[in-house]
Every structure is written in C-alpha cells, then in structure tokens.
C-alpha cells in the first residue's frame, strides 16, 4: 500500500474514530460548519495532519485531500505570516506562509477556507505545530463570517490539554486580568481564573489594549511558546479583537461569602460532592505577598486516608470522635469530614511551604470583633512522619491583595506532623483593621515556612471553622 492510498482511505476510519472520541469527551460544538454539506470523505482532518509529525519535519504526502477549516486568528495580533485554523473535528493548526505573505483577504478572521496542503511540511516552531511551505494559490475561500463555538473551559484544563487544544478556540469565565511584562513587540497580560493563571500576548500592531480587572469571559485560541534558549514552555490564549474580553463579573476569586447571622460555621461534611463551600478555596504557593494558586482537591473518601502518602488537598475523616488507630474502612464511611492536605517538598505545588486553606469574606460592613474558631488536626502517626509543620492565621484586604498580615492573637497549638495524632482547638481574634470593611477580607490558615525534621511530612486538616462577630 502506498502513502497515497493510506491518506485517501485508511484515514477515513481514523477520522471517524477521532470524531467519535472527541464527541465522547466533549459534547460542546467546537468546530465550524460550512454552507455546503461537509463529509470527512472529501477532506483530510487536522487531527490526521497533526499526526504526520513525529518529532521531525514531515512532508505532506502527495495527493493528500484538502483541508476545510475556519480562520480563528486575527493577522493583526499574530506574528507576520501566521494564521490559525480550526476544522470540524475540533482540532487546529497554525499555517506559516512566510513573513512576505500579503494576501490576507482570503485568511481574515471567520473565513471558511479550503486548503490544498500538498507540498506543505508539518513542523513545530517554538513548540507550536504548523504547516509551512504553502503559497497563496493553496487557498480558496468558501464563506465569510463563520463562527467557531469556543470550548468553555478553565486555565487548568487548557494547560493540561495544551497540545490537543493548540490552535483551537476556548473561553474562560470569571477571570481577572492583570498587566505582565512588555517587550518591543507588545504587552503580556496575566489571565487568572479559579484554577490558575495563563498568559495572553497582545501585539502593538493590533491596536488592542485590554483593561485590567475582572472579566465575565475571556475568549481566544490556545497558543504555545517554547523558549529556544531555556526550553521553558509558556501556554497562552491569544485574543482576536477586544470583543473577546467581556469586562465585569466577580473575577477569579469570586465574591466570597457574606456574614449574615452570627455564627457562620463550615463543617466540610458535604465536600464529598467535589465542591468546596462558596468562598472557600485551597491553594499552594501562598506567601506573605501572594494569595496562592487555586488547586483542586480530592473528594473521594477511599483515597483520602490519613496515612496515604499521595500529595494534595483531600476529603479526610475528621479526627473528632475517632482515635489514632481508626481503621481504613471506618475512615472511608465516616460522615464527619475534614478538609486536609498531605504536603510534599515539591515547590510550590507540594505545599511545603505554601499550603493554605483560604476563606474569602465579601465584606465586614457593620461587623465588629470578628473571631474565628476551628480544629487543627494532625492525622498521620506513621513512624517515618518525622517532619513538623507550623501553621499561621493571616488576613488581607481587597480584590487581589499583595500584603498578608499575621494575626497575633491566636491560642492553641498550630503545629502538626511529627507522627502525632491531635485535634487542637484554635481560637483567633482579628485586629481592628478587619472590622467594618466595605471590601473583601481574606483569611488564611497557611504554612509559610518549610517543615522541620527529616523523612516524611504528615497529614493536616481543619474542621468546624466558625466565624463570630457582633
């Protein structure tokens, strides 16, 4: 069998399999539709094209069928000669046509085009896959003003799916945009949602200036930049027009919880559904000048045992009512739950230091003498858990604070680990600056210094967090 028949016939089955797999994983409409009936038998899908690359430049086989796709980039906000396309399979790729290419009319944002990729070469440039060595005769315009429905996702999912989603349109919701670094070509911005931060680069030639602050949604295509000198990969989402950014909303951190009637208690018994209470988050990379990055937690009780060494925040059985020798089955079925963490030494993701349980209060307007009580639990008594972790309580004010202040008035032991089983009652009295604030108030139970000792780190948890005020 020659390569011509391979591309012409066998990829039909592969394309069908790919489409079925994509449909099973993501039922959102993510590809363009054309004015004439589309059949995978008449075109080569971009998943097949991307599959030609296996670590080295790959020539497109002779007589490969054309590609039909929609242009999802704005050439004014791309490097010269680069055009992003996405097809009906939901996959995308960059077309590099050379810096002297000027026939932009066929490849404007929203154009549905047929592309003869014969003679092209599939390669990678700065980590992003592309087809190069095509000229202006390779394109025929089928339609204009086509829309690709974006995949609604999160920063974390984009990073985890970087190569699969490269050169496809995604939409983030409830983000906060802040200024990043600048260079001679344009401005970097940091786009943060509840799961992490990603970069967007806006070229000076685009005429776009993104307003800093909260955005209800942020739409663009996934791009990759890999440094040729350091090898560091920077995931990006590139916007096309300013309309891709819809200002407003609560931002990455949400609005927090309100102080209605005192007391307000969080018992964490319902976190088995995979959701933390509104205004509560778990983070790593916390410092005195940084809130920390949102991370997911493991809600499954079967894999959240006190002596399980897998790192991360988890849904543990509370120490309240249980003893040091409680068996695994009792832990799994316990209805009294606690929110906890197993630290590792990987910085910052391992949380040693930098693990934080975070509570966001919408405001303290009309509220005074704010106090917090909670149980700090040390759960792992294995003989090789010889490291001790010291926790603090601190606070900050505003939407995205850069200064956290430790609370001095804390009673109770704030140390966990060192193969000790304990359930310490902690009482916190907040200072006057927290009172009657019309802005957000952040409260963290955090470890900002490295653990001490040798060998393994233990499991720590919090439970029955209660806020009171008058």
Query: Which residues, 6+ apart, have CB-to-CB distance to 112 below 8 Å?
Result: 32, 34, 35, 68, 69, 70, 71, 141, 142, 143, 144, 146
Is a pLDDT exceeding 60 seen at residue 277?
yes
- Tokens encoding 420: 């000790």
* Res. 160 pLDDT band, cuts 50 70 90: confident
Rounded to 5 degrees, φ, ψ at 248 are 115, -170
Helix (H) / strand (E) element for 393: namely strand 392-397
Tell me the whole-structure pTM to 2 decimals.
0.64
pLDDT score at 378? 98
Query: Which residues, 6+ apart, have CB-to-CB distance to 187 below 8 Å?
Result: 179, 180, 201, 202, 204, 209
pLDDT tens per residue across span 146-158: 999 999 998 888 9
Return the percentage of the chain with pLDDT > 90, whole number.
79
Is a pLDDT exceeding 50 seen at residue 13?
no
pLDDT tens per residue across span 34-90: 555 556 678 999 999 999 999 999 999 999 999 999 999 999 999 999 999 999 999
pLDDT tens per residue across span 188-208: 999 988 777 899 999 999 999
Is a pLDDT exceeding 70 seen at residue 124?
yes
* Res. 381 pLDDT band, cuts 50 70 90: very high
Q: What is the mean pLDDT of residues 9-31?
A: 42
Task: Report yes or no: 389 and 460 within 8 Å, Cβ to Cβ.
Answer: yes
Least confident of 38-52, 89-103, 349-363: 38-52
Q: Is pLDDT larger for residue 210 or for residue 3?
A: 210
Mean pLDDT of the chain: 90
pLDDT tens per residue across span 430-450: 999 999 999 999 999 999 999
How far apart (Å, rounded) are the C-alpha atoms in residues 132 and 117? 9
pLDDT score at 393? 99
Structural domains of the chain, with CATH: 3-143 (2.40.50.200), 151-247 (2.40.50.140), 264-468 (2.60.120.260)
Query: Which residues, 6+ apart, have CB-to-CB distance to 443 below 8 Å?
Result: 358, 359, 360, 361, 372, 393, 394, 395, 430
Least confident of 61-70, 297-306, 413-422: 297-306
Task: Report yes or no: 371 and 430 within 8 Å, Cβ to Cβ.
Answer: yes
């Amino acid at each position: 069998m020659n390569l011509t028949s391979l591309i012409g016939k066998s990829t039909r089955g592969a394309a069908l399999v790919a489409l079925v797999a994509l449909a099973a994983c993501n039922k959102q409409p993510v590809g363009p539709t054309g004015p004439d009936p589309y059949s995978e038998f008449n075109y080569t899908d971009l998943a097949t094209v991307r599959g030609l690359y296996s670590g080295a430049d790959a020539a497109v086989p002779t007589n490969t069928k054309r590609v039909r796709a929609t242009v999802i980039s704005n050439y004014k906000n791309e490097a010269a000669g680069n055009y992003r396309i996405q097809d009906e399979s939901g996959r995308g790729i960059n077309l590099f046509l050379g810096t002297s290419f000027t026939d932009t009319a066929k490849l404007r944002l929203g154009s549905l085009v047929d592309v003869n990729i014969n003679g092209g070469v599939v390669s990678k440039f700065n980590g992003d896959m592309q087809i190069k060595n095509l000229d202006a005769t390779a394109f025929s315009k089928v339609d204009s003003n086509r829309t690709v429905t974006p995949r609604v996702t999160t920063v974390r999912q984009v990073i985890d799916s970087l190569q699969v989603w490269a050169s496809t349109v995604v939409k983030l919701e409830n983000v906060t945009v802040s200024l990043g670094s600048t260079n001679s070509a344009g401005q970097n911005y940091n786009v943060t949602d509840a799961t992490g931060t990603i970069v967007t680069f806006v070229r000076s030639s685009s005429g776009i200036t993104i307003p800093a602050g909260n955005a209800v949604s942020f739409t663009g295509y996934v791009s990759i930049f890999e440094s040729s000198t350091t090898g560091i990969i920077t995931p990006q989402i590139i916007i096309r027009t300013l309309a891709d950014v819809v200002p407003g909303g609560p931002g990455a951190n949400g609005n927090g919880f309100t102080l209605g009637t005192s007391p307000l208690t969080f018992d964490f018994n319902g976190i088995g559904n995979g959701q933390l209470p509104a205004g509560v988050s778990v983070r790593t990379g916390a410092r005195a000048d940084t809130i920390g990055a949102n991370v997911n937690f493991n809600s499954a009780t079967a894999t959240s045992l006190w002596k399980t060494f897998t790192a991360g925040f988890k849904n543990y059985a509370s120490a309240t009512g249980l003893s040091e020798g409680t068996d695994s089955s009792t832990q799994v079925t316990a209805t009294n739950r606690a929110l906890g963490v197993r630290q590792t030494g990987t910085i910052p993701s391992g949380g040693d230091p930098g693990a934080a349980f975070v509570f966001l209060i919408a405001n303290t307007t009309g509220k005074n003498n704010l106090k917090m009580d909670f149980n700090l639990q040390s759960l792992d008594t294995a003989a090789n858990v010889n490291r001790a972790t010291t926790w603090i309580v601190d606070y900050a004010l505003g939407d995205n604070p850069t200064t956290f202040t430790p609370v001095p008035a804390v009673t109770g032991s704030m140390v966990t680990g060192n193969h000790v089983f304990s359930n310490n009652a902690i009482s916190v009295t907040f200072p006057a600056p927290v009172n009657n604030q019309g802005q957000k108030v952040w409260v963290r139970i955090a470890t900002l210094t490295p653990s001490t000792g040798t060998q393994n780190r233990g499991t720590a948890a919090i439970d029955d967090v209660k806020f009171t005020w008058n």
